[in-house]
Amino acid sequence: MADVVKPFDPAQDGAQMTFDQRMSYGDYLSLDKVLDAQAPLSQAHDELLFIVQHQTSELWMKLALHEMTAAKAAIAAGNLPPAFKMLSRTARIFEQLNSAWDVLRTMTPSDYTTFREALGQSSGFQSYQYRAIEFLAGNKNAAMLRPHAHVPKVHDWLVSLKNQTSLYDEAIALMSRSGLEIDASVLSRDHSEPYQPNDSVRNAWLAVYRDPNAHWPLYELAEKLVDFEDYFRRWRFNHVTTVERVIGFKRGTGGTSGVTYLRRMLDVVLFPELWDLRADL
C-alpha cells in the first residue's frame, strides 16, 4: 500500500505564515481597494469582464505615463541608456494592452447589449490617461481637453502636458545639440500646438540612418520611438476591430461615430519623419 503523502507546509521551508503584526501581500498591494473597485450596474454576466478590461488598461496606462515621463526627462538630459529601457518598457506595455483585446473579443454583440445602457454617456475616448499619453507622444488636440473640463485637477494637468515639450520635441532638440542642423523655427515653436513635419528634421534623421555608426545613440533612440509607435498603432487598430466586432457601426456611448471615429485616429502619425524617411534610404 502506498505511503500517504502529507500536504506540504510552507512554514517548514521558512515561509512567514502569520501576519497579525506584519505587512502581507494584500496589504502592500492595497488589494481590498483594488478588488472592491468593480461595481457592475447591471446583472449582466459580461459587465464584470468589461469593467476589469478597462480598469486594468488604465493601470497599464498609468505605468506607461510613468515610463514616458521619465524617458522624456532622460532624453532632455542627454542620458539615453535609461531612456532606451523606459521606451522599450512602454512598447511592451502596449503589447500587453494589445493582448487584452483578445479577452474582450470573447464578448459577443448579444452579450454587450445586456448592459450597454448601464454605461450611460461614458466612453473610452474620455480616458484622461490615454489623452495624457497622446499629449506626451506629441498628438496635441485642444478639442480633446473639453471632456475633462468638469474635473479641474485633471483638466489643468492635461493643459500642462499639452503646453510642454513632447518626447519627439526632446528627441529633435537632442539632434540639434548633437550637431545636426535643425531649423530654428522647429526648436522655438509653440509646443502646445500639434507638431508639423519639417524638412530639416527629416534630413537630420536621414543623416542618422545613412551613417548609424556615426550617430549610434540617436539611431537607437529613433528605433525605440518607432517601436513604441508601432505597438501604439497596433493598439489603436485592435481597438477599432474589437469595437466593430462588438457593436458594428453603431454610434459610441460617448456620442462619437464609433468605428468611423476610431478609424480616423489610425491616420494620426506621432513621429512622421521617422516613418517617411524609410522610402528615401
Record the cell numbers describing residue 45, joined without a space: 454576466
Q: Are the CB atoms for 103 and 49 separated by under 8 Å?
A: yes
Q: C-alpha grid cell for residue 37?
A: 473597485
* 53 labelled ligand-binding: yes
Alpha helices in 105-178 (DSSP H): 109-113, 128-137, 152-163, 167-177
Cα-Cα end-to-end distance for the chain: 75
Distance CA 162, CA 12 (A): 56
112 annotated to a ligand binding site: yes
| 196 appears as a binding residue in the annotation | no
* Annotated binding residue 253: yes
DSSP 277: G
Q: Which three cell numbers stand for residue 240?
A: 477599432
Cβ–Cβ < 8 Å for 75, 170: yes
Closest CA to 241 of 222, 265, 223: 265
Q: Is 51 annotated as a binding residue?
A: yes
**Dmax over Cα atoms in the chain, in whole Å?**
87
Q: Is 50 annotated as a binding residue?
A: yes
To the question of whether residue 239 is assigned a binding role by annotation, the answer is yes
Alpha carbon dihedral 53, 84, 264, 260, in 10-degree steps, equals -20
Q: Is 247 annotated as a binding residue?
A: no
Which among 125, 159, 84, 79 has a CA at the least distance from the CA of 265?
125
Binding site as annotated, residues for substrate: 50-54, 112, 116, 253
Known binding-site positions for heme: 239
Binding site per annotation, positions:
50-54, 112, 116, 239, 253
